[in-house]
């Protein structure tokens, strides 16, 4: 019998409907929530009470007309209690952010990566998380989840980093090691999730739609908690191309992160653009990353124009594969070579014009260099707002086990 499981799933789905409505339209009353969601007023009242008790929602402020004839109490996403922590393990740095449920950056901290071994990385990440947690506590905030992202393919059923060539990792069981490290520094029992960096970054863009984030002038100090952000539903399909030391893409498709059967989806840095081309970090030749990874562009005498032409080809290929509404560019190669991203954008537009099709919206990352870390923070929120059937993950894990057996 799966009745209990189904009931719990139904409840989670109903809660997520209310949260998503309030993200898109802050200030709705219970009566308006019932009208917009199609749920009964008593169900809405019950769920809203739970969500307030669990610090997801707050109520109060000026009474609003509910459009149904009575003044009533407005409800909002509570940005004053829960904070989402996100960490990007990059090839040369570790970035940590804490954001509110609406995507406002409350805290940010960046350090050079001191020891690239899995154990060394876990220890450094845990130290930074403990410092952030102490700072948040002073502001009355508590960490409700930690998302971590890495520059490599992650199996999201098992938390194993299958392949991260720029870190020199293969089949590293990182998630359990991170959970242990967080518990050791006083963050036990917090939900921890692991994902690829570009996959995380696309979620930051998708979940925190209209965020014009404000970072405290002095890093490591909590930003003022006034919330002027609005969130809502994003563009779908949406692709984030992270062009850093490694090159990868994150894809949101049909309102969910699309990672493929084994977490490899979007590993576009290792699509081959030229047979027998330059050597890549993965050991093969002619991969995209070997033409325009940030280290290639930094080399003396690097031909940025040619690199941009290859980058444009890659973006065009992505465009015709997914027909996205928007492509967002991030990473060091785009941040430090503005002309490079622009030339690639123009190439996509020319291609679209030539095909008589409207080009997708093209822009750079809203959170700049913090995009993967903010996206890692959004991992738990993304999952919470889109409940999966409890056995769906188990099914995927079994399918994976069959595939590798």
Single out the segment in contact with Zn ion by CB under 5 A; choices: 48-56, 286-294, 344-352, 387-395.
286-294
Shortest separation between residue 375's beta carbon and Zn ion, angstroms: 23
**Nearer to Zn ion (CB atom), residue 288 or residue 376:** 288
Single out the segment in contact with Zn ion by CB under 5 A; choices: 189-197, 275-283, 343-351, 386-394.
275-283
Verify binding: residue 332, Zn ion, rule CB under 5 A: no
**Nearer to Zn ion (CB atom), residue 183 or residue 282:** 282
Distance CA 370, CA 200 (A): 11
Q: How far is CA 195 from the centre of its chain?
A: 9
Q: Are 87 and 147 in contact (CB under 8 A)?
A: yes
User: 374: cis peptide before it, omega within 30°?
Assistant: no
Among 51, 243, 287, 373, binds Zn ion (CB under 5 A): 287
Distance CA 263, CA 271 (A): 15
Shortest separation between residue 282's beta carbon and Zn ion, angstroms: 3
Shortest separation between residue 287's beta carbon and Zn ion, angstroms: 3
**Nearer to Zn ion (CB atom), residue 208 or residue 291:** 291
Please choose, from the candidates 277, 265, 283, 346, the residue with its C-alpha nearest in 3D space to the C-alpha of residue 313.
346
Q: How far is CA 68 from the centre of its chain?
A: 38
**Nearer to Zn ion (CB atom), residue 171 or residue 218:** 171
Shortest separation between residue 285's beta carbon and Zn ion, angstroms: 8
Shortest separation between residue 180's beta carbon and Zn ion, angstroms: 32
Neighbours of 57 (CB within 10 A): 20
- DSSP-based three-state secondary structure for 188: coil
Shortest separation between residue 284's beta carbon and Zn ion, angstroms: 5
Distance CA 375, CA 205 (A): 7
**Nearer to Zn ion (CB atom), residue 108 or residue 280:** 280
- DSSP-based three-state secondary structure for 258: strand
Distance CA 278, CA 165 (A): 16
Size of the site for Zn ion (CB under 5 A): 4
Verify binding: residue 270, Zn ion, rule CB under 5 A: yes
Verify binding: residue 295, Zn ion, rule CB under 5 A: no
**Nearer to Zn ion (CB atom), residue 123 or residue 282:** 282
Run of H or E residues at 24 = helix 3-24
Verify binding: residue 376, Zn ion, rule CB under 5 A: no
**Nearer to Zn ion (CB atom), residue 103 or residue 286:** 286
Shortest separation between residue 63's beta carbon and Zn ion, angstroms: 59
Single out the segment in contact with Zn ion by CB under 5 A; choices: 108-116, 190-198, 200-208, 268-276.
268-276
Among 39, 123, 282, 309, binds Zn ion (CB under 5 A): 282
Verify binding: residue 280, Zn ion, rule CB under 5 A: yes
CA distances from 170 to 10, 88, 165, 282 (A): 39, 18, 8, 11
Distance CA 347, CA 248 (A): 19
DSSP labels, 37-69: H---HHHHHHHHHHHHHTTSEEE-SS-EE-SSS
Single out the segment in contact with Zn ion by CB under 5 A; choices: 144-152, 287-295, 315-323, 338-346.
287-295
Burial 132-166 (b: 16+ CB within 10 A, else e): bbebbeebebebbbbbbbbbbbbbbbbbbbbbbbb
**Nearer to Zn ion (CB atom), residue 285 or residue 349:** 285
**Nearer to Zn ion (CB atom), residue 136 or residue 280:** 280
Single out the segment in contact with Zn ion by CB under 5 A; choices: 69-77, 111-119, 150-158, 285-293.
285-293
Shortest separation between residue 139's beta carbon and Zn ion, angstroms: 43
DSSP labels, 276-329: T-SB-TTS-BSBTHHHHSHHHHHSTT--HHHHHHHHHHHHHHHHHHH--SEEEE
- DSSP-based three-state secondary structure for 157: coil
Distance CA 347, CA 325 (A): 17
Shortest separation between residue 288's beta carbon and Zn ion, angstroms: 8
Shortest separation between residue 152's beta carbon and Zn ion, angstroms: 12
For Zn ion, what does the binding mask look like between residues 219 and 258, x meaning CB under 5 A?
A: ----------------------------------------
Q: Which residues bind Zn ion (CB under 5 A)?
A: 270, 280, 282, 287
């Amino acid at each position: 019998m799966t009745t209990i499981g189904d009931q719990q799933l139904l409840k989670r789905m109903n809660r997520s409907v209310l949260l998503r409505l309030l993200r898109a339209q802050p200030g709705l009353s219970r009566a308006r929530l019932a009208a917009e969601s199609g749920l009964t007023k008593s169900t809405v009242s019950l769920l809203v009470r739970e969500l307030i008790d669990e610090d997801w929602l707050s109520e109060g402020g000026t009474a609003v007309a509910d459009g149904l004839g009575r003044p009533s109490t407005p409800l909002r996403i509570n940005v004053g209690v829960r904070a989402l922590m996100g960490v990007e393990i990059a090839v040369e740095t570790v970035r940590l952010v804490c954001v509110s449920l609406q995507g406002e950056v409350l805290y940010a901290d960046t350090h050079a990566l001191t020891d690239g071994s899995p154990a060394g990385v876990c220890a450094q990440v845990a130290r930074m998380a403990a410092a952030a947690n102490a700072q948040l506590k002073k502001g009355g905030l508590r960490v409700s989840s930690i998302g971590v992202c890495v520059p490599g393919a992650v199996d999201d059923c098992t938390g194993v980093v299958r392949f991260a060539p720029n870190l020199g990792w293969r089949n590293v069981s990182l998630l359990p090691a991170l959970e242990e490290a967080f518990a050791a520094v006083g963050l036990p029992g917090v939900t921890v999730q692991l994902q690829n960096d570009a996959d995380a970054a696309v979620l930051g863009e998708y979940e925190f739609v209209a965020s014009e984030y404000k970072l405290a002038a002095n890093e490591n100090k909590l930003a003022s908690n006034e919330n002027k952000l609005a969130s809502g539903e994003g563009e779908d399909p949406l692709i984030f191309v992270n062009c850093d030391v490694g090159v990868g893409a994150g894809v949101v498709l049909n309102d969910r992160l699309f990672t493929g059967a084994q977490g490899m989806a979007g590993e576009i840095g290792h699509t081959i653009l030229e047979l027998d081309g330059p050597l890549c970090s993965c050991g093969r030749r002619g991969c995209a990353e070997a033409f325009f990874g940030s280290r290639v562009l930094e080399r003396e005498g690097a031909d940025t124009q040619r690199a941009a032409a290859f980058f444009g080809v890659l973006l065009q290929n992505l465009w015709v594969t997914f027909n996205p509404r928007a492509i967002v560019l991030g990473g060091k190669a785009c941040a430090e070579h503005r002309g490079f991203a622009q030339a690639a954008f123009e190439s996509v537009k020319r291609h679209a014009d030539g095909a008589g099709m409207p080009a997708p919206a093209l822009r750079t990352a809203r959170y700049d260099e913090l995009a993967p870390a903010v996206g890692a923070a959004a991992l738990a929120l993304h999952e919470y707002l889109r409940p999966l059937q409890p056995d769906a993950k188990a099914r995927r894990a079994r399918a994976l086990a069959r595939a590798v057996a």
